[in-house]
Structure 1
């Protein structure tokens, strides 16, 4: 499987939904909690200015947030990104 990184906060329902979808797909992921301002700034830079969580990266691809990833999945584009 591709390397998956997800930036989250503990109480974000969209973060929980994104992690559930990735788990359903059998994807292992690294979760980065952005309560630390320095980590949030790093996320913002990687996500081209987006400050909301979650922000999801699969390999070198910035997928976006949960809604973006769910839409990608409905269009059949998520599984190919997750494939090794």
Structure 2
């Protein structure tokens, strides 16, 4: 189960970056690190991290997915900016 969270985080990263050559490497003691295999060799991208830290790192790595906003969200943000501005 622990590995599943790490794998899903890497799958999200692959989707965001368009690079299918990222991989999560699991170590004993519940540590994980990220590698990029796109250059033909395993380029270590992160140090060994605990599961929670690894997922946070992978989610923050690379381009971020644009946030979806509803019409109400946009109107609410505009109202806040308007009230702060004057």
TM-score by length of 2: 0.39
> Which has the higher relative contact order, 1 or 2, with Cα contacts under 8 A spaced 6 or more apart?
1
TM-score by length of 1: 0.39
**Which structure features the higher share of helix residues?**
2
